[in-house]
Structure 1
Amino acid sequence: MRFRHAPGIRADHPTLAAGVIAVDGIDDGANVDDAVAAHVARATSMLATTAISELPQIQAWRRTFAAMGLKPTQYRCAAESLLRRLAKVGTLPRIHPLVDLCNAVSVAAAIPVAVLDRDRIKGDLEVRRAHGDETYATFAGDVEHPVPGEVIFADEAGQAHARRWTYKQSSTSTVRPETRDVLIVSEALHPGAAADVEALLTTLGTEIARAWPRPTPTPTLLTAERPETRV
């Protein structure tokens, strides 16, 4: 499969930097407690000196959400939602070792990270504007249709794997205990985003290789010059 951003998305958001990592053969038995704790500690230290609203990574997403007609205080990018939870309760939810690791790295970098089960994606996956006939499966078991023009992660079968860009992933491709092959996607829009996303990819690749010795993470940085990759 290929992962890419539609030309219109790139044109509208010239500072966009994205990174992907394809990992095969994961399981839910890995121990990532120490790694999660270390990255959460970095995020906690950052929040002790800087308000979430002052982080340039979050500010860039708030501006983007506002430009899309979404209230930034109602719809928050995934990284901001996790940071707000961490600031409020001091911990992150524990879901699956890989998801937990990605969430911890996400809050430490203040950059959204999505983890998708590749076997549940039909064909290529593209970040594009919705036509309005795509289907999005909620965690409550309902099926929604994105608003035309909304930025979504869409596969060739018309499934929306994320709505409102980095706001919320669908239940279709969430990582489960039986998940083996995944696609990790990280995106940022702030000044210096490319270097920060590349650093995030390097960190995740190292942590994944340590926790799952058999898979070989394959990180790829996507830019305007290289807007897509095969995974």
Structure 2
Amino acid sequence: MTIDLTVSEEVRALAPGFTHVAIEARGLVNGPSTEATSLLLDEAARRLAERLAGRAPHEDPHMVAWRAAYTAFGAKPSRTRNSAEALAKRALAGGGLPRINTLVDVYNAISVAHLIPVGGEDLDHIKGGMRLVRATGTEDFVTMAGGERTVEHPDTGEVVWCDDEGVTCRRWNWRQGPRNRLTEESVNAIFLLEGMGPDSGAEAAGDELAELLEKFSPGAQLTVRAPERASERPE
């Protein structure tokens, strides 16, 4: 059974061009970063530089659309960048992209190569379905600060992903909570690729991510859900 994903009418009214592709994966194999995932991240940075052709990430049309969406719900996009823009800046900087674990490296590579926000959630730590909503400001967002567990609350009207337990990601895709992050022990996950506008490339990015997940986790069962399309890849 697939997890229920919903986008509220308030979010759709705020950003009519928003679209997303979801890949639900079960039976994954995760572990530390490898030489293969490191090379994947380096290649993604090369592809990004080729796409930008000397421009800054925020000048790309897709990032312009995301900045407009962030501004629409009251965020300052130059201070709280969407996840794709933030990763792109790191990819172009001297230090390059972080190496975290196999699954995170894979989806970060897709995010950078396609300049599209991509997130991965551990399904075993998601409570109920996932909803993209505008916050009331009373929801709990459990995070860590100074090594201690702390509870924050989103701003009223902020766009957040949440489940039955609370907020899982603040400011659309800016900051994920630790509860649902993919760790080396994760075996079941959902990956969300989020686009703005018809030319975001979300479906192409989703297809490439599915291929990489099959490569790094042979035998995993994947269900791909895209606008007007649903398919299952056999084991």
For normalisation by structure 2, the TM-score amounts to: 0.88
Further displaced range: 170-179 or 214-223: 214-223
- Does the CA-based 8 Å contact 2:128-2:164 persist in structure 1? yes
Equivalent position to 1:172, from 169, 175, 179: 179
Q: 3-state DSSP class of the match of 2:184?
A: coil
2:209 is aligned with 1:204: yes
**Cα shift at 1:37:** 3.1
Q: 3-state DSSP class of the match of 1:72?
A: coil
- 1:24 corresponding residue in structure 2: 26
- Does the CA-based 8 Å contact 2:125-2:180 persist in structure 1? yes
- Does the CA-based 8 Å contact 2:45-2:92 persist in structure 1? no
1:80 maps to a residue whose letter is: E
- Does the CA-based 8 Å contact 1:35-1:207 persist in structure 2? no
1:14-40 deviation digits (Å, cap 9, x = unpaired):
111101001112222375344333323
- 1:163 corresponding residue in structure 2: 170
**C-alpha distance in structure 2 between counterparts of 1:168 and 1:218, whole Å:** 25
**Cα shift at 1:88:** 1.6
- 2:159 corresponding residue in structure 1: 151
**Cα shift at 1:73:** 1.1
Equivalent position to 1:124, from 129, 136, 147: 129
Segments of structure 1 that go 5 or more residues without pairing to the other structure are: none
- 1:70 corresponding residue in structure 2: 75
Q: 3-state DSSP class of the match of 2:225?
A: strand
- 1:56 corresponding residue in structure 2: 61
- Does the CA-based 8 Å contact 1:26-1:215 persist in structure 2? yes
1:41-87 deviation digits (Å, cap 9, x = unpaired):
21133344332122011101111111111111111000000011112
- Does the CA-based 8 Å contact 2:22-2:225 persist in structure 1? yes
**C-alpha distance in structure 1 between counterparts of 2:210 and 2:47, whole Å:** 18
The aligned runs of 1:6-45 (5 Å cut-off) are 6-29=8-31, 31-45=36-50
**Cα shift at 1:191:** 4.4
1:26 maps to a residue whose letter is: L
> As a proportion of its length, which structure holds more strand?
2
- 2:142 corresponding residue in structure 1: 137
- Does the CA-based 8 Å contact 2:154-2:170 persist in structure 1? yes
**C-alpha distance in structure 1 between counterparts of 2:38 and 2:98, whole Å:** 12
Further displaced range: 146-155 or 30-39: 30-39
**Cα shift at 1:101:** 0.8
- Does the CA-based 8 Å contact 1:32-1:211 persist in structure 2? no
**C-alpha distance in structure 2 between counterparts of 1:74 and 1:49, whole Å:** 22
For normalisation by structure 1, the TM-score amounts to: 0.89
How many residue pairs end up in the alignment?
Answer: 223
Further displaced range: 72-81 or 142-151: 142-151
CA RMSD across the alignment: 2.0
Further displaced range: 73-82 or 43-52: 43-52
**C-alpha distance in structure 2 between counterparts of 1:14 and 1:67, whole Å:** 12
1:161-184 deviation digits (Å, cap 9, x = unpaired):
011111111111011111110010
Segments of structure 2 that go 5 or more residues without pairing to the other structure are: 231-235
**C-alpha distance in structure 2 between counterparts of 1:100 and 1:108, whole Å:** 12
**C-alpha distance in structure 2 between counterparts of 1:83 and 1:33, whole Å:** 16
**Cα shift at 1:90:** 4.7
**Cα shift at 1:214:** 1.4
Matched residues, percent identical?
A: 32
**C-alpha distance in structure 1 between counterparts of 2:71 and 2:12, whole Å:** 18
1:136 maps to a residue whose letter is: F
1:130 maps to a residue whose letter is: A
2:116 is aligned with 1:108: no
